[in-house]
Chains A and B, each alone.
Chain A
Amino acid sequence: MLQIRALAALAACCAAGVALAQQAPAEEPGWAKGRPKTDTAMKMAPVPAFPIPTAADQLPTKKFKLPPGFKVETWASGVLDAREIREGPKGTIVVSTLFVGNKVYAFPPGKREPKVIIDKMPMAAGIAFDSKGNLYVATNTKIYRYDNAEDKLDNLGEGKVIYDKLPGGNDHSWKFLRIKDDKLYFPIGAPCNICDPGQYAKIYRMNLDGTGVETLAQGVRNTVGFDFDPKTGDLWFTDNGRDWFSEELPNDELNHLDMKKLGQHFGYPYCHQGNIPDPEFGWGKSCDDYVKPAALLGPHAGSLGLKFYTGKMFPAKYQGAMFIAIHGPWNRTKKYNGVYVAWPDGKGGAKVEPFMTGFVENNNYLGRPVDFHVMKDGSLLVSDDHAGAIYRISYGGK
């Protein structure tokens, strides 16, 4: 991982060299690389979350549509910039933030008021508990561990830095974390829309003390959601497709990583959605040389959180299914988003269906789903960073 910084420095140095040689314009922002120079596209820049949570009585909760028998309620409001949701062994729900909040919140068991346990920490997006109740928090530069966090909600103290060699930066540098069998899984996203990513655009894992970093998958542009299939142990992950190719292409990908074949390449920046060679980086490459997506999730979908349903409350057809948060596009004229559900087909593919919709009204977002947590009673929590809320989905009917 030390190499990442070296490579980043090298890349920066070379890029600067090229720019100087050409007397050329400064680099475009990473997100703008490949953007067409049309009036419509030029008005589309990444839109940050709103700085104020939607008031409880203005939340879109009543507008959501779900399959028969399911109901959704507001579990918590006033949770500015709510992103990842995790639960400690003692039942504390912890929620992270990304660009706006700079905070991590906790909801002690039975409580619905967010309690700020970490403040003034930019990009405190990646969170995970280990089996002992230690909380891991990853920014874009460091990973911290807070021992026995649930016992110290009033004064969490300084975390112990277990890893400080994340490359930082802006584009796709924030983290999504999972812990399984005492390994911490995290991505390093591409530092741009489309570029040669070097040691970026990979999924890694490490021991819980920050040692033993291994590469699990490469060619992954930006995953902000992954989980392990409880049946097979394989890793399923969402991946955000490149921008500015066209309104309708490429799709975001749902991918399946066979844990017996670590190190496979999923295509970025050479091939998108399994069958579109990149117009710049795809020359001389074949899409058949990369792992194909298990399913497509829609153009510029902003597919984020992914969680296998491991509860007992939902009907049998949802056992073994995974829920996927589609945050919704910023650089597509027509907006869409929602909570989707996907079923592995046993052959590496998956079937995907919308599950909860109603977040969009008059082409404006009323809410944008980010991540999930399966509660002990089998209900499903959904975070919404746009409205600053957490919803709870339960099943009661036939």
Chain B
Amino acid sequence: MRSIGSATAASDAFAHRHRILAAAGALAALLLTGSAADAQSTGARSTSKAAAKTAAKASQPAGAASAGAAKAEYAQRFASLCAACHGANGRSDMPGTPALAGQHGFYAITQLFLFREGRRDNPAMTAVAKTLTDNDLRGFSDFIDTLPPVPPPAPPTPTDAARMARGQALAQQHKCLFCHGSDLAGGQQVPRIGGQREDYVRDALRGFKTGKRPGYTQAMTEAVSQVPLEDLDTLAYYAARFTPPAGK
């Protein structure tokens, strides 16, 4: 699979990995609980991301200098163009506005593409995306790829354990984990949904079901076609409050 990283330095990737692990919970806790599989899978994911970026670097002789310049340019443009709604660190309190923190570059570029093409219906995002060149789509999505996950703020009401259990069962039943992973962190073209805003996930799932929101592929439309609306809402509740296994 093509990496969309444009020559991010390996050291950045390492730092990114480090932040992921830190955010997910203490590495020591992971090891102490003896959850080797979780540790391995988290490590493998981060390593493959790092490897992909190294590969991208090798395949693009433009060099780290221009890549660094591109990253700085899109960091600056993100701050001026995106941060007002999505937050400077990729997470905001604005209703319906998805967290971009921790999101994958490949997923980000598919959505920017759908907005620009007018296939995904959101006037604000389409207005922004219409002004973007192919290089811009790549630059913004590469930058988003570097944003580490930011945990959601504490929910206003206590978490309903029964509803969480129901959500977990539904996620198993409807094969959500098949693509999004047991940590709901996704990867490549599959978005991170663990810790995403509940209102956003709910609208997205309902949109896939009603056909209002087209996916980049047919995967989500097919996945939710037989799922009742109330179950979709429970899934959104579950995903938004989900804590990765490593953090337990």
Hey, which bits of chain A sit against chain B, CB under 8 A?
A: 25-26, 28-29, 32, 35, 39, 42-43, 45-48, 50-53, 55, 58, 99-100, 170, 330, 361-366, 386
Contact = CB atoms under 8 A, between A and B. Distances in A.
Nearest to A101: B117
Interface string B136-156: 011000000000000000000
A35 B175 CA distance: 12
A52 B41 contact: no
Interface string B175-216: 101110110000111100000000000000000000000001
Interface residues of B, number: 46
Contacts of B113: 51-52, 100
Contacts of B54: 362
Q: Interface SS of chain B: helix, strand, loop or mixed?
A: helix
Contacts of A29: 175, 178, 219, 222-223
A25 B174 contact: yes
A162 B113 CA distance: 33
Nearest to A52: B134
Nearest to B224: A26
Contacts of B4: 50
Contact of B134 (A47, A53, A330, A386): A53
Given A39-B41, A52-B138, A47 B1 contact: yes
Contact of B179 (A39, A45, A364, A365): A45
Contacts of B182: 42
Interface string B22-45: 000000000000000100110011
B187 A43 contact: yes
B60 interface: yes
By Cβ-Cβ distance, the 9 closest A-B pairs, closest first, are A362-B55, A51-B113, A25-B173, A52-B134, A170-B218, A45-B179, A48-B217, A39-B41, A364-B55
Contacts of A48: 110, 189, 216-217
B70 to A, nearest CB: 13
A364 B41 contact: no
A47 B2 CA distance: 10
A24 B52 CA distance: 38
Given A50-B106, A361-B58, 8 more contacts: A26-B227, A29-B178, A39-B41, A42-B181, A43-B181, A50-B109, A52-B134, A55-B135
B172 interface: yes
B59 interface: yes
A28 B134 contact: no
Contacts of B44: 39
Contacts of A55: 134-135
Given A26-B173, A361-B59, A51 B109 contact: yes
Given A45-B179, A51-B110, A364 B173 contact: no
Contact of B55 (A58, A330, A361): A361
B226 interface: yes
A57 to B, nearest CB: 10
B3 interface: yes
Interface in B37-73: 37, 40-41, 44-45, 51-52, 54-56, 58-60
A25 to B, nearest CB: 5
Given A43-B187, A45-B190, A48-B189, A99 B217 contact: yes
Nearest to B60: A58
9 contacts: A26-B175, A29-B222, A39-B44, A48-B217, A51-B113, A51-B137, A364-B3, A364-B56, A366-B59
B178 A47 contact: no
A28 B178 CA distance: 9
Nearest to B134: A52
B217 A362 contact: no
B61 to A, nearest CB: 10
Contacts of A386: 2
Nearest to B217: A48
A45 B180 CA distance: 10
Interface string B1-28: 1111000000000000000000000000
A103 to B, nearest CB: 10
Contact of B58 (A25, A43, A170, A362): A362
Nearest to A362: B55
Nearest to B216: A48
Given A53-B134, A362-B51, A45 B58 contact: no
A396 B109 CA distance: 41
A39 B56 CA distance: 25
Interface string B101-136: 000001001100100000000000000000000110
